[in-house]
Each structure stands twice: as C-alpha cells, then as structure tokens.
Amino acid sequence: MTQSRSIVSGSAAVQSRPSATPVRELNGCPWHDVKSKLREVGLRPTRQRMALGWILFAKGDRHVTAEMLYEEATHAKVPVSLATVYNTLHQFTEVGLLRQVAVDGSKAYFDTNNSEHHHFFVEDENDLLDIPSTDVVVGKAPTAPEGYEIARIDVVVRLRRKRG
C-alpha cells in the first residue's frame, strides 16, 4: 500500500532569494560547469569558490551543512577555513545557486536542488529527504505585512523511526 504524503500547514518559514536562476549552457565537465554557473550569477570564479562549487555540484542534488562541506573539502585537500565555507554557502544562496533549509534554530542545510519542493527531516539521522511540491498541499497562506511579499514557503516534516 502506498502512503500518501499530503500535508496541510498554516504556518511555514519563508526566506528570500532571487526569483530564478538563469538557464545555463552546461557541457558535462564539472569544473567548466561550475565556472559557468558562477559567472552567470555574477560571482567571480575564485579558486575557493570553484573548489567548493565542484564538491557541491558534481554529485547531483544533495543537502549539506557547512560542517559537512568543510569535512569534504578537507578530505579533498582543499585549503579552506570553516568561515570561508560558511561565507561561500551564503553567497551561493544569495544568488540562487542553493536553497537554505532551516531545520532547527542552530542547524541549516544547503540544498543544491533549488526547484520548488519540500523536505522530510529524519531526526535520529540528521538527514534531509526531498518531497515533491505536488505531494504537499499548503492551506491558506498568511497575508504578508505591508511592504513585503512571500518569497517562498518551506515545509519541513520531521520524521523519527517507529518505536516498538
């Protein structure tokens, strides 16, 4: 039996980001593709951005924390500080290359899939799983305060293993 995953939520976190990432010409070479992505959004392709971008985007859609990316960079012998990783992730998010997903007040994941979708958060494993946007039905969204508009509604459904 297939379980339906429709969720109705009256409250959700809303974060701002650019409305769309431009369509780019990718040629299958991760290094070239990262350089193209960075240039198209107005970021200079520095060695550190290129290296971190390659680590992030060469593996397809995924969710990482700054600490996870820092560990991967260290294993790949990329000389960057944790502060540089944080700064780069936030720069990539500001220009629409990544989506930031907040799961706890102190924990944020960065998602390389910036299409419209939502997430399951597996609490015991600290893991994020994508939920297609068609599987989530958001009820009535609140009216934005004067001078603001809703940029995005993020639904994070928290999961834990059944006991017993």
What CATH number has the domain bearing residue 40? 1.10.10.10
pLDDT, tens only, 39-73: 999 999 999 999 999 999 988 899 999 999 999 99
Asked whether residue 20 is domain-assigned, the answer is no
pLDDT, tens only, 77-91: 999 999 999 999 999
Asked whether residue 99 is domain-assigned, the answer is yes
What is the C-alpha to C-alpha distance for residues 56 and 64, in angstroms, rounded to an integer? Answer: 8
Query: The domain containing residue 117 runs over which residues?
Result: 30-159
What is residue 48's three-state secondary structure? helix
What is the C-alpha to C-alpha distance for residues 11 and 22, in angstroms, rounded to an integer? Answer: 30
Q: How many domains does the chain have?
A: 1
More confident residue, 149 or 25: 149
Asked whether residue 153 is domain-assigned, the answer is yes
